[in-house]
Structure 1
Amino acid sequence: MNPKLVACCQSAWCISMQHLTTLLAFFSIVNQYTMRICLSLAITEMVQPTNGSSTDESHVRCRNSIRSGTEHAQPRVIQGDAFEWDEYVQGIILSAFFWGYVLSHFGSAFIADRYPRLMLGLSVLITAVLTLLTPLAIDVGGAPLLIATRAIEGIGEGATFPVLSAIVAQWIPPHQRGTLGSFIFSGGQIGSLAGGIGTGFLLSELNSWRMVFYVWGTLAIVWYIFWVILGYESPESHPFIKETEKQKLIESFADAKKKPDVGPIPWRSIAKSVPFWGLVAGQIGHDWGFYLIATDLPKYMKSVLGFSVKHNGMISYFPFLCMWIFSVLGGWICDKQISKQCVSITAARKMWTTIGSLVPAISLLAASYAECNTVVVVVSFAICVTFMGGFYPGIKVNVNDLSPNYAGFLMAVVNGFGAITGILVPYTAGWMTPNQTIEEWRNVFWLAFWVLNVTNVIFIAFASGEIQPWNDPNSRTESN
């Protein structure tokens, strides 16, 4: 590249290339989540309204009580027609994304560490194009083609977290992982917030579910253009980074830097690694709770409590802002705990994961037993979502603790196991709530309570924050 052009670009930026890459990585997840969750709220307005024939007294009383005091969900058909999809079909539609998402995770495991820049760009681009095509898919093929489209979107988006872990391994040294690493991965909360509230606004003000997919798909295309120009997988490959910043980053990694040409993946060592399986358990617990809130809470707010689509988007997704603040603040505190040697890395990861499991589990139950008390319900869900932010300085950065050299591969496998819950949760919730009553939903929240707590106990028992022996290719004798 022309040296004069490089010098000009270096002097034009007001932030470091590390922070610029962090922001681009953060917004990659923001865009992915807006496209992922927008259907969860849009589908509440796309389907034909039910007859409300439930005989559950608390259910009817709760809806009537809320409707007498606030704007409520009026049966209506918004622009784009409405569809006769029952709870079972809706559950399949909402879970279809994760069919491809799980498959893509395990598929991308083989190349995430080799081509992170290319894979991240393609991951967002594929999802964006299919999001833009979603209304056409529904018009042409109805629910079956929508299910297929969402599954392929999942394939596109499934590489995001694995390749981001590979990028984190190159750009963010251990003493910054709690802060910058949590910030990147917390893009899911801001994406959920923007996608939820923005989707509610688009549905309410523009009276069109089609615009939801056009808006979020277009914004993701804009991100892709910026990434192609400014995004690079490592300081060494970035043409605009200053030499002083590059050398400082290289020195700050010490032995935790990802090594080139590390050789074949140590399959058997990873499969026999107890900390690895502890991390898998923690990821499953987090994803079960997160997907329940992000995917099915809008249905609960409308079907059980009777909130309008505008209030539904605000109440269901605004707590994700609190979660984002808590995860970033928690990441900063976690880094301070480790740097000041108040706790070990292992203890810190276990402590923050426990915060992200126990408090949300209790809050879910509190919301279900509050019944018609909307203040308690909303506050309980807000507390639940907020404290889930503890997972980010806990489990989300743990793959980089275990193995910088195979961080992308580990994230692909760990997140792949966790993403299976994205298939199970919407399907299970739809199956367990055919009448959309409070009692039925309470059973859904009890199940989440046990999943969150049992997986957390497993994580506490087996997790580690130390680099594992199989990370170093020079110290292992395993041949693959």
Structure 2
Amino acid sequence: MKKTYNNPLCTILPQRVVMGIMGFLAIAVSYTIRQSLSVTITEMVPKKTDARIGETYSWSETEQGWVLSSFYIGYVISHVPGGLVAEKFGAKWTIGCGVLLMGVLNALTPIAVRYGNIMVVIVLRIIMGLGGGTTYPALSVMLAAWVPEKERGKLGSIVFGGGQIGSLVSFALSSVILGKYHWQYNFYCWSIISVIWFILFTITCYSDPASHPFITQKELNYLNAELGQTKRNDKLPPTPWSSILTNIPVMAMVFAQMGHDWILYVISSDLPKYLKEVLHVPTEEVGFYTSLPFLGMWLFSIFSGYVSDFLIVRRILTITQARKFFTFLGAVPPAFFIMAASYAEKNLFVVVTMFVCAMSFLGNFYPGLKINSLDLSPNYSGSLMALTNGIGGISGVVVPPFIGYIVDDKTNSAILQWRKVFWITFGFSIVRTVVFLLWGSGVVQQFNNPVKQLSVESGISRQPDTPTNRYEMSSDLSDQTIDKNVVVFNEQNKT
């Protein structure tokens, strides 16, 4: 039997909660690094395009767009490899090394800017993206190994909500740092924090419960009963890509993720520029106003996560219905609020209020669409997260240059140009919501357990007689939209 510890230090918090906290911080640190440039670039580039002056650089709007979006090129590329590596070899080092790589390269950014040129900066940001792209897929693998189904809404929202806190802290503190020091120090600050996080993460977190030296026997027994297995199996069959890529609920999830990421990147990447160049907000205040929407999003994500689990456990909603309901709340209201912001002209209070409302409702995305990959396939959740978040990340590549192309001046006509951007975002949000409502699902798909591997050796797949499997089937069999083929498949597993 595995040796476990029951001293007070090990029992203060369940280790799955510790994992959730460190996973939350992993995403938060990752976002502080990637988002800090959005504020810093407003100080790096002079207000008017002219020759290089001291510590500022004459990058055009289009060039700034490519600098901001270059991170997401590497981010998209590394998603699938990151998910596959986490599934095969464990999520711990995949997450840790990815964030550490971002931190180290972030500290080199001032050197690249000063002694290189814009292409050197773009290449550096692409490599940083390679590190950042592994975080979400690997965390999905870790969540699938650690978190019972009835706790996914809460812990999933807490972990994935790290992006909002990371953005909030990055925008707020970056403005303070830029107001007192040279812009280079903003990069150094977040790099130091990433190294501190890496050390704590490697000490406290492990890829699965069975390999954790500090987990109590009580928690280990609980997770074994809920999940059916607590040890990662490195003999999991290869990812069934053909089945995944032809699966309708998966494709609906991917398209919906793209729509979500589009509106998120419009706000996170370019809201500081909108506030400074259109509303003429002072630099030291830009970070504060930009951080407020992310605070609202984080609070809503935590609240909606608890509500989602409550509705599912009480069988008020099935898993499928809950995912669709919260996806709707996280898409349609935000689309209307950002459109309202574009018609508020230069009324700072109304504009900020509309963006806070938009981002707050966007927080419903986490107990809705974000954890949907865990529903569809616990065994291949890393690959699914890599696919959805990776393709969704294309929005991060496209959005900044797209906005730079449409918004080509900083005069009063820029408001009309920004309004065009918000209308396009509005349309995309509505379409992606309709697609997910029609074809999305919260049911375990057949490719989760390949026909050749129906035994207990199929990774972390659950046995038909485990409490988790009974919970899943009882909650979703009441959903008349359930995929009948999946039901038949699961029933065959019982015989």
TM above 0.5: yes
Is 1:332 the counterpart of 2:306? The answer is: yes
Q: Single out whichever of 261-270 and 344-353 deviates more from structure 2.
A: 261-270
2: CA distance, partners of 1:188 / 1:250 = 30
One-letter identity of the residue aligned with 2:237: G
| Cα offset, 1:376, TM superposition | 1.3
One-letter identity of the residue aligned with 2:146: W
Aligned to 2:328: 354
Aligned to 1:138: 113
Aligned to 2:438: 461
Is 1:387 the counterpart of 2:368? The answer is: no
For 1:322-370, what per-residue CA distance to the aligned partner results, in whole angstroms no more than 9, with x for missing partners? 1101001001000011111111111110111111111111011100011
The Cα RMSD (Å) is 2.1
In structure 2, do the counterparts of structure 1 residues 394 and 183 end up closer, same or farther at CA, with 3 Å as the change threshold?
A: same
1: CA distance, partners of 2:406 / 2:453 = 48
Q: Does structure 2 conserve the Cα–Cα contact (< 8 Å) formed by 1:169 and 1:258?
A: no
SS in 2 for 1:109: helix
Aligned to 2:59: 85
Q: Does structure 1 conserve the Cα–Cα contact (< 8 Å) formed by 2:25 and 2:162?
A: yes
Aligned to 1:33: 31
Aligned to 2:133: 158
One-letter identity of the residue aligned with 1:465: G
Q: For structure 2, which runs of at least 5 residues remain unmatched after alignment?
A: 455-495
Aligned to 1:177: 152
| Cα offset, 1:38, TM superposition | 0.2
Q: Does structure 1 conserve the Cα–Cα contact (< 8 Å) formed by 2:175 and 2:288?
A: yes
Aligned to 1:67: none
Q: Does structure 2 conserve the Cα–Cα contact (< 8 Å) formed by 1:281 and 1:456?
A: no
Aligned to 1:311: 285
Q: Does structure 1 conserve the Cα–Cα contact (< 8 Å) formed by 2:208 and 2:230?
A: no
| Cα offset, 1:14, TM superposition | 1.9
**TM-score, structure 2 as length reference:** 0.87
- 1:23-62 alignment to 2 at 5 Å? 23-50=21-48
2: CA distance, partners of 1:470 / 1:51 = 54
Paired residues, number: 448
| Cα offset, 1:42, TM superposition | 0.6
Aligned to 1:424: 398
2: CA distance, partners of 1:294 / 1:256 = 37
2: CA distance, partners of 1:466 / 1:123 = 31
In structure 2, do the counterparts of structure 1 residues 342 and 255 end up closer, same or farther at CA, with 3 Å as the change threshold?
A: farther
One-letter identity of the residue aligned with 2:359: V
SS in 2 for 1:263: coil
Is 1:111 the counterpart of 2:91? The answer is: no
In structure 2, do the counterparts of structure 1 residues 311 and 104 end up closer, same or farther at CA, with 3 Å as the change threshold?
A: same
Percent identity over the alignment is 39
One-letter identity of the residue aligned with 2:446: P
1: CA distance, partners of 2:165 / 2:231 = 29
For 1:68-89, what per-residue CA distance to the aligned partner results, in whole angstroms no more than 9, with x for missing partners? xxxxxxxx98xx7110011010
Aligned to 2:98: 123
Q: Does structure 2 conserve the Cα–Cα contact (< 8 Å) formed by 1:470 and 1:476?
A: no
For 1:434-465, what per-residue CA distance to the aligned partner results, in whole angstroms no more than 9, with x for missing partners? 11310110001111101111111111111100
SS in 2 for 1:81: coil
One-letter identity of the residue aligned with 2:424: L
1: CA distance, partners of 2:395 / 2:9 = 46
2: CA distance, partners of 1:148 / 1:271 = 31
Q: Does structure 1 conserve the Cα–Cα contact (< 8 Å) formed by 2:49 and 2:59?
A: no
SS in 2 for 1:113: helix
| Cα offset, 1:15, TM superposition | 1.3
SS in 2 for 1:112: helix
Q: For structure 1, which runs of at least 5 residues remain unmatched after alignment?
A: 53-75
2: CA distance, partners of 1:317 / 1:346 = 32
Q: Does structure 2 conserve the Cα–Cα contact (< 8 Å) formed by 1:360 and 1:384?
A: yes
Aligned to 2:341: 367
Q: Does structure 1 conserve the Cα–Cα contact (< 8 Å) formed by 2:209 and 2:231?
A: no
| Cα offset, 1:259, TM superposition | 5.9
Is 1:441 the counterpart of 2:439? The answer is: no
Q: Single out whichever of 413-422 and 135-144 deviates more from structure 2.
A: 135-144
- 1:160-309 alignment to 2 at 5 Å? 160-206=135-181, 208-254=182-228, 261-309=235-283
